[in-house]
Structure formats: C-alpha cells, structure tokens
Homo-oligomer: A and B are copies of this chain.
Amino acid sequence: MPNFQPVQTVRAYQRIVEQIEDALADGSLVPGQRLPSERELVSQFAVSRSTVREALRVLESNGVVRSRPGDPNGPEILPFSQAPLRKQMTRLARVDELTLSELIAFRMIMDGAAIQLASRLRTDEQLVEVEQTLVAMRAAIDVDFAAFSEADVAFHEAVARVSRNSLLQTCNEVVRGVVLSLISDKIAHATNSRALMLESLRHHTEVVEAIRAGNGHAAARLTRQNLYDYYATYVPAPERDPLRALIDD
C-alpha cells in the first residue's frame, strides 16, 4: 500500500518563490546578483506577469530582493539582513505574544553567553578594542544619554564580535533593538540619568575586568546581574522570577 501524502494546493507564485529561495540556498544565486526583468521572468516561468509580481512582492517583503522602477538590471538580490527577523519579533512583542520579561530574559542569556565566550576566546588586541569602547562610554556621559546609549551598544557589539558566533551576534542585536524600542520612551523620562550612567559604566568595567582575567563564568554572571538591575524596574514584579532564576546560581 503506497503511503499517500495529503495534497495541498501550491499556488503558482509560491512555486516561483520556492525556486528562487532554493537557488539562493544552494548558492546558484548570490546577493548582489540581479534577477531577470519581470517580463523576462514571465517567459522563463511560463506564467502571467501578475503571478511573477506576487512572487516578487513576497520575496521583497521577506527582504530577499528589491525592485526599483526603471532599473534596467532587474530586481536585485539583497544580502541577508536581520531586518525582517526584527520585524517579526517586534510584531510579536507588540501583541504581547512576547512579554518584556521574556525578551529581557533572552537578552540576559544571549549577552551572558557572548561575554562568556568572549572572555575565553579573545585575543589581546580584541581586549584593547573592548576597553576602548569603555573609554568611549565614559566620554559619552558628559554629552548626553543618547550618546551614552550608543556607546553602550558599541560595547556590546564589540563583545559579540569577539564571541565569534554570528548567530549569537545577530540574535543579540535583534533582541536588543526590540527591547530598546519597547522601553525607550520610559528610559527617556528617567530622572537622575547621570547617576544611572555612572552606575552602568561601573558595571561594564567590572565585566571587562572579568574578561581580562579570562573568568568566563564570572563575566557572564556579572552581565546578567547588570542587565537585571538595569531593566528589572520595567518588568512587572510577578514576571521577575524567571529573570532572577538566571542570576542566582
């Protein structure tokens, strides 16, 4: 008896999307390359132009290609971007499918791991790079909070690079962006921000010390603690349990 599979109607534009995504996955299509023009695709896929266009719209909304009117080279294959990933995550966060607590827990995990890896894998030059972002943070305190925030991001990005794990790096970046967009308005109203910045700088300095010492576990623990201290006030009290579970070992 043959093992029949449930059939599902696959629409024409979907098969076009699949073909293009497959070509991208197996490397026969690489970012920077151009797709043939819509009218050319019409004859290659043997479908109407509406169908081709629906496929292109889907690819475009997924950040795979970009069409520009009048461009004689045709639609462009874009390099991978985390923008669509962030869009989806933001969407989920907006509808409470993801709570702030979940996002922050995730940040604590990601950032902690990145720093743990960094403290083991860093070269001396990379340590210097990280220390320089600390210097930039200190300088930014005297400018304004936005500058400090930017320098803070630079610190975390430098550490993430050192961790040599691009997946970790991307996830980190995305979730950091989402968290910031969720609470940026609240942070802007924070009083006594200078004290906050000094405190944050002190925390970061401790982390760098642990990185220098190669003490990955301590560095990770400090990082998670810092994130908790920094964000806990924005999280409803009953949702703080999971966050604490990540810091007390």
Chain A positions within 8 Å of B, measured between CB atoms, are: 9, 13, 17, 24-25, 50, 53-54, 57-58, 60-62, 69, 80, 82, 84-85, 88-89, 91-98, 102-103, 105-106, 109-110, 113, 116-117, 120-121, 163-168, 170-171, 175, 216-217, 241-242, 245-246, 249
Contacts and interface: CB of A to CB of B under 8 A. Distances in A.
Contacts of A80: 91-92, 95-97
A113 B246 contact: yes
Nearest to A175: B167
Contact of A168 (B69, B105, B120): B105
A92 B80 CA distance: 7
A109 to B, nearest CB: 4
A178 to B, nearest CB: 10
Q: Is the interface of A mostly helix, strand, loop or mixed?
A: helix
A204 to B, nearest CB: 21
A88 B80 CA distance: 10
A57 B91 contact: no
Contact of A245 (B97, B117, B168): B117
B96 A170 contact: yes
Contact of A85 (B92, B103, B241): B92
A49 to B, nearest CB: 9
Contacts of A84: 88
Nearest to A9: B69
27 contacts: A9-B69, A17-B61, A24-B95, A53-B54, A58-B58, A58-B61, A61-B62, A62-B91, A80-B97, A85-B85, A85-B88, A93-B167, A96-B170, A98-B166, A105-B117, A105-B165, A106-B165, A113-B246, A120-B241, A120-B242, A120-B245, A121-B241, A121-B242, A121-B245, A165-B242, A216-B249, A217-B249
A222 B216 CA distance: 17
